[in-house]
Each structure stands twice: as structure tokens, then as C-alpha cells.
Chains A and B, each alone.
Chain A
Amino acid sequence: METTILPEVTALGVIIKAILILAIIAAIAGFGTFIERKILAFMQRRLGPMYVGPYGLLQLIADGIKLFTKEDIIPQHANKVIFAVAPAITAATAFIALAAVPVFPDFTIPFVDIYVPSIASDINVGILFVLGMMAAGLYGPLLAGMAQANKWGIIGSARTAIQFLSYEVVTGLSILAPIMMVGSLSFVDFNDYQTDGLWMVVYQPVAFVLFIIAGFAETNRTPFDLLEHEAEVISGYATEYSGLRWGMFFIGEYANMITIGVVASVVFLGGYNDFWIFPGWFMIVAKIAFSFFFMLWVRAAWPHVRPDQLMWLCWKVLMPLAVVNVIITGIVMMLV
């Protein structure tokens, strides 16, 4: 029996990968704002940003310059330390969560012949780590809303709390059934489980739908954007924020959207396995891009729900469904 050679994890490699994740995901998150404005505009038969650069492509730079050069205002009665730290929590946890998700299949750099496992750290509790980090990211809106001495902020952070309590149960329970089938918490094991071409969504359609719904709540996307819904609570937790701090919230939000896309792709949609004639790296990029597009699509199509409807949905509909799904999965696994 030949021994499998474990991929070599070097400190230098991890640092390079961390820097790459930070740079690329931050750039994509910024670019995501442009994509979102364009897609929403097209769905309303508008053009979207057009004037800065060809097809408005440089709008991103214009927005960046504007955000960076805006005056940094901290309200008089705000708790200044927490006010300053809160956006960093959202942005940092979003990027930390990305450390444990695999984005590409492992590959070898040509010419220099260095084998690269393309995940910053394949920890054996990968899913728990990512979900935990994304949950910790909710401390950003929570603290921001409470620190800013503004009633809209308070309402926003109260909504953060109920949203957090509602969807987190569903996320955990819905992903429990695939975890039971795979028997591991590592994303790489999840990916390898689906190498035969049968995606997890075939076995676990209910868990997939539940996870997608909870994922929308986790990233504060419509129809669950209760935290900052302008028509109701001005801007919720972000009311008093401006400039770079406000931008950090949004980089965190878009990074979270990408993370949810990666998790859904790897856990349910076949990960980075080759599919038909398409190589694995293309498949996972396509899946992440589609899930990003789906979030924008849903935002263009659906109205958002009230906080009480979210709680009703999560506690009375989704959580029982998730529990039933887990029980049925368990029974089937026991019998087969």
C-alpha cells in the first residue's frame, strides 16, 4: 500500500495565501457593488453606472476615492472605542472565515513544480469554524448599533439580535444532515465525498433549500435585510457611519456573500470536482458566481419580510423542517 503524501503546509505558503485571499476577495467585494448596481439596473431595464470609464467600470474607483476621502465622523455621545472597532469586526471575521474554505482544487505551479493545496488552512472543524466566524461577524452590526447613540441604530442592533437567534439554528441544523452523511467537518472531505458526480443536493434537497434561506439571513440580503432597511429604520446599524468605516461594513457583507457561495458550492453543489468537460476550478468559480448572481436576482425580485415574519419563518417552519430532515437522514443512514 502506497502512502499518501500529505501536502506540505509551509508558513510562507500560508502567508502568501492569506495575502492573496485578502487582496482578491476585497477587490471582488468592491467589484461586487458595481455588479450589483448593474444587475439590479438591468432587471429594471435601466443602464446603471455608465459615465465613469467604459460601461461605468471605473465607478468602483470613484466610489473608493469618495469613501476614503470622506470625513470620519464619530457622533458626540457614541461610545467611541466600540464605534470604531465594530466595522473592523465585520470585515475581519468575513475574511477570517474565508481562511478555511477551499476555493480551488489543489494544483502544482508549473515550471517551479511547487505543490499548492489551495486552502489556507484545512482545519478539521472547517464548517464549524466558518459558520462560527460568520456568526461572530454579527457582533459588528450589534455593537455598531448600540454604540452610536441613535435610535435607529438601536433598532437595527435589536433586529440583528433576533435575526441572529433565528437563522443560526436553521443554518446549523440544515447543514447537520450533510455532515452526518459525510462524517467529517472538513470542507476537503465534503468535496471528496462528491467526486462521483452525484452532488449532495441530490441527497439533501431540503437541507440545501434551508441552508440557502438561512444564508440569505446570514448575509443580510433581501428578503432578510432587516438590519438596515432604509424604508423602515433609515439605515439601521449603519445610520451614523460614513466613509471608510461604512465601507468596511459593506466589504464584510460582500465577502460574506462570497463565503456563503463557496460553502453552498462545496457542501451541496459538488465543490471543485471536474464536471463533464469542465475543469474543477472553472466549475467552482461558475457556482460561486451564480450564487452571487442569485442573491442579486432575488433582491431585484422579492420584497423583504418583517422581523416577526422572519422569526415565524425560522422558528415555526424552517427549524422543524430541519429537525425532521436530520431525523429522516439518520433513520435512512441506519437502515441502509
Chain B
Amino acid sequence: MSLEQFKNRNVGTQNYKKLDLSHSPSSGWGEFKQVVSRTFKPELFVGLWVTLREMGNALLGGKMHTTQYPFEKLPISPRYRAIHEMLRLMESGNYRCIGCGLCEKICISNCISMETRYDENQRKEVSKYTINFGRCIFCGYCAEVCPELAIVHGQRYETASEQRASFSLFEDMLTPIDKLNLQQEYQGFGAISPNADDNIKKTPLAY
């Protein structure tokens, strides 16, 4: 586009293409013909057919849209950053956290606080670990920096509660030892959601 064309802001003189609309009738006879042709066109019945077809699709074809939310949940992406989880080692069942303190250090809203000490085997042990969810902005730095994949973001997004504290203690975030076999490994940043295949659609090339 040349500069002159670009500078031309006078809308009225530009080359707009008009849609090919049929002309509206000018005479009374033309109007009458339009009414008659519209009356006998089956367009209204096309509308009826479409709604009936969709009802058939919904009831018989299993194309109902509704997800009954509290009872059914859509899978969320592994990238989703919900309430944190502390994972355990699969072999021993010990928690993975080595008490390095990197997450506490990197936390930009300063909401992680931890205390560590040496246990009787001279191993680092986490004696206190809390996340203040009033401050946490769910940026995900703690999960990203963790060298042991010990703290990750889980899928628990329903966080309405009487007290924030009920999410934030180490024991609450830690995988329960009897559910160790159900522990999900973190898929990693960039992982796709489990139902990604279902969401793939053909690109509508006609558009």
C-alpha cells in the first residue's frame, strides 16, 4: 500500500465492495411477489428441522453438551497451576523433599516458609513447611526450581474452604502414604492435557 493510499482517511471515496444483496422491491406488485415467495419458501421449516435434528443428536446421538459439574469434571491441563502437592518417592515412600530451601528462596511473593534440621541419620528433614495461600500467586516458580520434583502443582482447583490453613500444611499437601500408588508424576511444563486428542478438530478450510 502506497503512502498516499494509506493517508487517505476519507472513508466515503474508498473502494468498498458491496454485498450482492437482492434489491428491495419498489412497486407494490414487487412487494407482493416478495411476500408470496417468502411465504412459500420452506425456510421456516428448515428452522424447525434443525432444532428437531439437534434434539435427536442430543438424546440419541450422545451429543449432549452439558457437563454436570460437581459430579463430572472435565480433565484439566497438566500445566494448570492449582494447589501444590508434595510428592513421595515411589520406592521407599519417603517424601522427596530434601530441604534444600530453593523454593523458599525463589518464591516471589514470599509465601513459603520452611524449617529443616538433621535427623538421627544426619539426613536433612523438613520439620515445618507451610505455604501461605493468602499470598501465593501460583506462579509456579517453586515447582520449576525444585531439583527433586518434590513440590509440584496439583489439580486441586476447588479451593473454597473455611480456612486457608486446611490446604497449606506439609502433611495436607503430601501424598497420603496409602495412596502412593495413585500418585501422578508431574508431566512437565509443556505437557498436553489428557483429552487433547478429543479436542482436535478439522480446520474448517471453507472459511
Residues of A near any B CB (own CB < 8 A): 39, 42-47, 50, 297-298, 300-302, 317
Contacts and interface: CB of A to CB of B under 8 A. Distances in A.
A317 B35 contact: yes
B68 A301 contact: no
B169 interface: no
B193 interface: no
Interface string B26-43: 000000000100010000
A301 B51 contact: yes
Interface stretch (B8-16, B55-63, B94-102, B146-154): B55-63
B205 interface: no
A197 to B, nearest CB: 27
A43 B48 contact: no
Nearest to B68: A50
Per DSSP, chain A at the interface is helix
Contacts, number: 41
Interface string B76-92: 00000000000000000
Contact of B59 (A42, A44, A298, A300): A42
Given A42-B58, A302-B44, A317-B35, A47 B51 contact: no
Most A-side CB within 10 Å, residue of B39, B50, B66: B66
A42 B61 CA distance: 12
Interface of B: 35, 39, 44, 47-48, 50-52, 54-55, 57-59, 63-66, 68
B47 A43 contact: no
B35 A297 contact: no
Contact of A45 (B47, B57, B68): B57
Nearest to B50: A301
A243 to B, nearest CB: 29
B52 A297 contact: yes
Contacts of A297: 48, 51-52
A44 B54 contact: yes
Given A45-B58, A47-B68, A50-B68, A302 B47 contact: yes
